[in-house]
Amino acid sequence: MTITVTKLLKMASGCWKPCTLHAGVKLDVFSHLTRSPMTAEDLAGLLEVDTRALDMLLHALTAMELLHKEENRFRVTPFTGEYLDRQSPNYLGHLILHHHFIADGWNRLDEAVRQGGPVRHRSSRNTGNLERESFIMGMFNQAFRIAPEVVAAVDLSNRRRLLDLAGGPGTYAIHFCRQYPELTATIFDLPTTRPFAEQTVARYGLDDRITFVGGDVVTDPIGSDFDVIWLSHLLHSEGPEVCAAVVAKAAAALTSGGMLLIQEFILDNSRIAPIHPVLFSLNMLIGTPEGQAYTEGELADMMSRAGLTRIQRLPLDLPNGAGIMLAVR
Ligand SMILES: C[S@@+](CC[C@H](N)C(=O)[O-])C[C@H]1O[C@@H](n2cnc3c(N)ncnc32)[C@H](O)[C@@H]1O
């Protein structure tokens, strides 16, 4: 992509459209307009917001092809009815709202660079209810789209006990258990994640095979004798030393011959590609004391220092530069 003045200036105002989308989702206009098409005035009455301002927002969402306008009424499109209505099983609003909550930190990136540390609280800690739900269920939104591809590429035949370490709502534990009927799983995550994980597991009717254990992976015991551990998107929120300790702890919790799988946004050795992991490091800079994206070599080194062998990266081309490392105890 050759940069031009037009592209540069477009980049500078690139946050306008995302902010418009975030506001539409946060005000839940899509759910209301799925129930019935409405004028800005009627919807403003329902949402208890300013009519003139909502009218502008609805026109902008229409210009972005997220709503239709007929006469003076607005309605959802088939697409936004499926993905932005809170009642839809395919609702993606959690992930969109997660981006809304972290946007304030991105706006203060210069301060983070100046001081060399975070300018917002961690998404996994000390957050309000809506923000916590958006983070955990946003991870569900994200993982749900990728999990089928991951499960198809990872052979867990003959494995019986899976630990989904820092598993959040348990999206991967659920997908692995659906694929392998003999498998049981433990989701280990911070205690505040429990209600989201239990609800999600119950929704898939797997409460008899998947249990939740609350704890801190850095300071608490994580259990033992697992023949497979799935560690997805935790390491980027910690610095290299804590990551090495977590990987060593996971390795020690495996049976002999047990397998550790790590999913992360993986940087090239050049550290300038793929673009998502490069930017994700900044996302961790603004939100965590030591988090960052890691290269394949760095992840392999953590696995090797934990005494694991047969270290490899699975040949998978996942969205956002995500990749999976595998090693065996
Ligand atoms: C980005 S989410 C990934 C969730 C899930 N593994 C996935 O890939 O969809 C990171 C998860 O790590 C959890 N987490 C962060 N720090 C943790 C800690 N110290 N101990 C246990 N869980 C932690 C968060 O609560 C969150 O569920």
Spatial separation of the C-alpha atoms in residues 127 and 107, rounded to whole Å: 19
ipTM of the complex as predicted:
0.99
270 DSSP 8-state letter: T
**Cβ neighbour number for residue 208 with a 10 Å cutoff:** 8
288 CA → ligand 1 middle, Å: 13
**Over 80: is that where the pLDDT of 127 sits?**
no
What local confidence, expressed as pLDDT, does residue 123 receive?
76
| Alpha helices in the chain, H assignment, sequence order | 5-12, 16-26, 29-35, 40-47, 51-63, 78-83, 93-106, 109-115, 129-153, 171-179, 194-203, 240-252, 275-287, 296-305
Task: Print burial letters for 107-137: b (CB count within 10 Å at least 16), e (below 16).
Answer: eeeeebeeeeebbbeebbeebeeebbbbbbb
Pocket of ligand 1 (CB under 6 A): 124, 136, 139, 143, 166-168, 171, 189-190, 193, 216-218, 232-234, 237
Which amino acid belongs to residue 88?
Answer: S
Taking residues 48-68, what's their average pLDDT? 98
Give the pLDDT of residue 122.
Answer: 83
Report whether pLDDT(121) > 90.
no
Q: What is the mean pLDDT of the chain?
A: 97
CATH class held by domain 140-328: alpha beta
pLDDT band at 328 (very low <50, low <70, confident <90, very high): very high
Is residue 108's pLDDT more than 70? yes
Mean pLDDT for the stretch of residues 192-200: 96
DSSP 118: -
pLDDT of residue 74: 98
Rg (CA), the chain: 22
For 164, counting Cβ atoms within 10 Å of its Cβ (0-12 exposed, 13-18 middle, 19+ buried), the class is buried
Catalytic residues: 236
pLDDT at 124: 77
The packing angle between helices 194-203 and 129-153, to 10°, is 50
Q: At residue 307, does pLDDT exceed 70? A: yes
Q: Is the pLDDT of residue 256 over 90?
A: yes
Mean pLDDT for the stretch of residues 191-201: 96
At residue 227 the predicted structure's pLDDT band, cuts being 50, 70 and 90, is very high
What fold does the segment set 5-91 form as a domain? Answer: Arc Repressor Mutant, subunit A (1.10.10)
**31 contacts 87 by C-beta, under 8 angstroms:** yes
Q: Look at residue 126 in the predicted model and tell me its pLDDT.
A: 65
Mutate to test the pocket of ligand 1, among 123, 186, 189, 213 (most ligand atoms within 8 A of CB): 189
pLDDT value at 226 more than 70 = yes
Domain boundaries, the chain: 5-91, 140-328
Query: Would you state the pLDDT for residue 125?
Result: 77
Enter the tokens of residue 317.
């081309």
pLDDT digits (tens, 9 = 90+) for 60-102: 999 999 999 999 999 999 999 999 999 999 999 999 999 999 9
